[in-house]
Copies of this chain bind each other. A is one copy, B any other.
Amino acid sequence: MKQLDFTVRSNEKLNDQNHLLKVVPSDNEQLPEMLPGQFVQILVENAQHTFLRRPISINNIVPERNEIWLLVQSVGEGTQKICEMAVEGRLNMLVPLGNSFTIPSSRGSYLLVGGGVGTAPLLFLGKKLHERGIACDFLLGGASEQNILQRSDFTNYGTLYCTTEDGSLGEKGYVTHHSVLQHKKYDFIFTCGPKPMMVAVARYAHERGIRCEASLENLMACGFGACLCCVEKTTRGNVCACTEGPVFDINELTWLD
């Protein structure tokens, strides 16, 4: 873990609410190794009501450019200020935090299911799987077409399936109703998104005995294991989502009890 200043290289507005920021360490220090599923804690300056840092997933790492991508949805003051960052602006971040998705050593068929801005860590995961020669399927859901972000990036690393609530892209409905889930048999599922979605995905996986990992977005104060505020109730008791997560095997969670 490091506390570093980053400089915003670019800030692209993807839709009304979502921005893609590409940031590099301000002093060009080499980025520490980062794994898919890990996140950063961003200090939001210039915000009147934002006291704590804000956790944001690592959306992608471009080692050649020493660059981190952050996909941010503006839902409140903190994320709004991050989305409003000017190019060349500074962001102080703690990097990298948390555990990571388990990159399987065995071959098999992999499905990455994301909803809303929960798709953020799945891009980086898909890229890493791809680098290992593992092709995967992405199943992404959103309210409508403009909410399914970074589609061309995803298709670089696998096959993209979509659902939208209004049917404007892919199949109409929720991700767990997508026909690919009926037709195809997966060995691993990774998911990140709104809790009801992840619970539905976990249930699907559990019923079929598919190994499944979910990335949680518990409220956090510190992000590095010091405050014990972010706990998730697991089969091992209360554990910190920021150090022993945010990625959990669904069998450890008590969601389906």
Contacts and interface: CB of A to CB of B under 8 A. Distances in A.
Contacts of A46: 46-48, 81
A166 interface: no
A205 to B, nearest CB: 43
Contacts of A88: none
**Count of this chain's copies in the oligomeric assembly:** 2
A46 B45 CA distance: 8
Residue from A45, A46, A47 with most neighbouring chain B CB atoms (10 Å): A46
Contacts of A47: 46, 48
A74 to B, nearest CB: 15
A106 B46 CA distance: 50
Nearest to A81: B46
Interface string A15-48: 0000000000000000000000000000001111
Nearest to A77: B46
Interface in A149-177: none
A92 B46 CA distance: 17
Interface string A70-86: 00000000000100000
Nearest to A46: B46
Nearest to A84: B46
A47 B77 CA distance: 12
A244 to B, nearest CB: 32
A87 to B, nearest CB: 15
Nearest to A51: B48
Interface in A34-67: 45-48, 50
Contacts of A81: 46
A183 to B, nearest CB: 51
Contacts of A45: 48
**A-B pairs with lowest CB-CB distance, top 4:** A46-B46, A48-B48, A47-B48, A45-B48
8 contacts: A45-B48, A46-B46, A46-B47, A46-B48, A46-B81, A47-B48, A48-B48, A48-B50
